[in-house]
Structure 1
Amino acid sequence: MVTMPQPRSRRPLAAPDHEAARTLWEQYAQARPAAASASSDYLVDQFGDHAELADELLDLVRAGYKTATASLLSEYVWEGEAPPGIGAHTVFCDGDGAPRVIVRTTGLALAGFTDVDADHAWAEGEGDRSLAHWRTEHRLFWERVCAAAGRSFTPDMEVLMERFEVVWSDAEG
Structure 2
Amino acid sequence: MWAEYVSSRPLGQVDDEHTVEHFGDTARLADELLQIVLDGGKRATAELVAEFAHRGDPLPRIGSHWIACDSTGAPRIVIRSTALRIGPFDSADAAFAHAEGEDDRSLPSWQREHRRYWERTCRARGAVWSEHEDIVFEYFSVVWPPAHAD
State the shift of 1:80 in Å.
2.2
Instruction: Work out whether 1:107 is the aligned partner of 2:83.
Output: yes
State the shift of 1:30 in Å.
1.9
Per-residue CA deviation, residues 28-59 of structure 1 (Å, 9 max, x unaligned), is 1122244x743222110000000110001001
Per-residue CA deviation, residues 102-142 of structure 1 (Å, 9 max, x unaligned), is 00000000121122111110000001100011011111111
The answer to whether the 8 Å contact 1:52/1:95 transfers is yes
SS in 2 for 1:160: strand
Q: Distance in 2 between matches of 1:30 and 1:66?
A: 26
TM-score (norm 2): 0.93
Which sits farther off after the overlay, 123-132 or 24-33? Answer: 24-33
In terms of Rg, which structure is larger? 1
SS in 1 for 2:144: strand
State the shift of 1:171 in Å.
5.3
Q: CA RMSD in A?
A: 1.5
Alignment of 1:135-154 (within 5 A): 135-154=111-130
SS in 2 for 1:84: coil
Per-residue CA deviation, residues 50-83 of structure 1 (Å, 9 max, x unaligned), is 0110001001111111000000011122222210
- Give the unaligned 5+ runs of structure 1: 1-23
SS in 2 for 1:38: coil
The answer to whether the 8 Å contact 1:39/1:89 transfers is no
Which sits farther off after the overlay, 85-94 or 38-47? Answer: 38-47
Residue 60 of structure 2 aligns with an amino acid whose one-letter code is P
Which sits farther off after the overlay, 70-79 or 157-166? Answer: 70-79
Paired-residue identity, %:
44
State the shift of 1:99 in Å.
0.5
Q: Distance in 1 between matches of 2:15 and 2:98?
A: 28
- Choose which of 83, 93, 101 in structure 1 pairs with 2:59: 83
- Choose which of 136, 158, 168 in structure 1 pairs with 2:134: 158
- Give the unaligned 5+ runs of structure 2: none
